[in-house]
Structure formats: structure tokens, C-alpha cells
Amino acid sequence: SFVFFHQVCRPFIQTARCYARPVRRKRKDIPSHLDDLPPTMLKKDYANVPVINSVDDVVRRLLSLEMASQKEKMKIKTQQLVEKVRRSPHDNGSFEVQVATLTAKIRTYEEHLQRHPKDKSNRRRMLMDIDRRKKLLAYLRRVRYDTFENTCKQLGIQYSLPPPYSRRVTKRWLVKKAFCLKVFQEVRKLKAPERIKQRKEQQARTRAAREEAARCEG
């Protein structure tokens, strides 16, 4: 009986198993800011080596970006962004260079979070880098506006002004403000006689100094 039941119900069981199988969503191809790097480009550590032109094609392929890791590609991309904004060939620490380095890191974090949106640790690091870049750009905008404009243009950054400070008015805040004003006025009333006395003494000293100067001239 069990064999007969199994043969009769087997198609239905197979259908139920296929129906209950979880559907795997196909991952979307997320564009990367490293896609414009040609695979034939050499890694950063081997780009300026003179012997590299005489090596075999297999060795050259191993030393190119085709076999490179994400970290090695990031070095090349960061160097390209830095070259756009640096002041001189030996400039490695100016505000523009720091903004370029942070921009490369932020774009890498954004791509990573599109694939792994629940990665809170890297999201926190990205927000910290964004905050630091905002401070650097705000300083450049305040001190060297032409450099600020050129940096944003070369790196493709859309800078938005910080919102003005706003505070929600509550009954408790209004009562506290009125109390502080009342205390300030009472303190001024208590200090008023002392201020008047000091002002009169200052005027008397000034008048005496002028009379002494006029007597000496006469």
C-alpha cells in the first residue's frame, strides 16, 4: 500500500517541493567607479620599473590590473583622482589631496553597501569619511573658493550647504527662555549702581588728566 501511495502521490510531492524551494534573486550588475581602468594597465608598484618593457607577455599579464585585486585597483584610482587636484608633483597632504583620497574611499563604500545593505560597520565608516570630507570642503570654500570649485569639478562632487540651525519651539523652551531673560535683567539691576559709580570715576580721572595736560602746556 505504501508503494502504491508513493507512486500515485509522487508527482504532487515533486510539485510541492519545487514550489517550496526558495527563489534566488539574480544580483544586478552594479556599475563600479573602477570600470574605466583598462585591464592592460600595470599595477602601481610595477608601472615605473624599467625592466617591465622586456618581460614576457605572461609576466606582464600577471602584473597588470587584469589579475589585480580590489585593493590594488583602488591604489590606481586614488592616484588618478589625486593627480587631478594636486598642486605640485610632490603634493601629498594638501586639503585637495585629502578630499580626493576620501572620495575614492566613499565611492568604494557606496558600491559595497549596494551589494550588502546590512553592513552597518562599513556604513558607519562611510558616514565618518563623508563628514570629514564635508569639513575639508567647507574650509576650502571659506579660504580658497577657486580651489574649492576646481576640486568639486574635477572630482564630480556636488557640494550642498549645511542647513541653518533650527530648533523646535516647545512650551518648556519658552518658559526657560523667559526665566533666563528675567534673571539677566535682575542681575543688571543689581549691578547698575556699581556700573554708574565706575563710569563716574572713569570720567573724573579723564577730566583730571586733561586739566593736568592743559596746566603743563600753559
- First-residue to last-residue Cα distance in the chain: 139
The distance from CA 6 to its chain's CA centroid, rounded to whole angstroms, is 63
- Secondary structure element (H or E) that encloses residue 165, with its range: none
Q: What residue numbers bound the domain in which 116 lies?
A: 44-160
The yes-or-no verdict on residue 70 having pLDDT over 70 is yes
The yes-or-no verdict on residue 18 having pLDDT over 60 is no
What local confidence, expressed as pLDDT, does residue 132 receive? 94
Task: Tell me how far apart the alpha carbons of residues 52 and 48 are, in angstroms, rounded to a whole number.
Answer: 8
128 and 199 fall within a common domain: no
114 and 193 fall within a common domain: no
Q: Is this model's pTM higher than 0.75 or not?
A: no
Least confident interval from 62-71, 74-83, 90-99, 131-140: 62-71
Classify residue 206: in a domain, yes or no: yes
Q: Which stretches within the chain are classed as H helix?
A: 2-20, 57-62, 70-85, 95-115, 120-143, 145-155, 171-217
Mean pLDDT of 135-140: 93
Mean pLDDT of 158-178: 82
User: Which residue in the block uniquely carries the three cell numbers 502521490?
Assistant: 9
Mean pLDDT of 78-84: 91
Classify 218 as helix, strand or coil: coil
Which of 49, 135, 37, 47 has the alpha carbon at shortest distance from 78? 37
101 and 144 fall within a common domain: yes
Task: Tell me how far apart the alpha carbons of residues 178 and 192 are, in angstroms, rounded to a whole number.
Answer: 21
Torsion over CA: 33, 38, 40, 46 (sign): negative
What local confidence, expressed as pLDDT, does residue 121 receive? 93
What local confidence, expressed as pLDDT, does residue 214 receive? 85
154 and 179 fall within a common domain: no
126 and 182 fall within a common domain: no
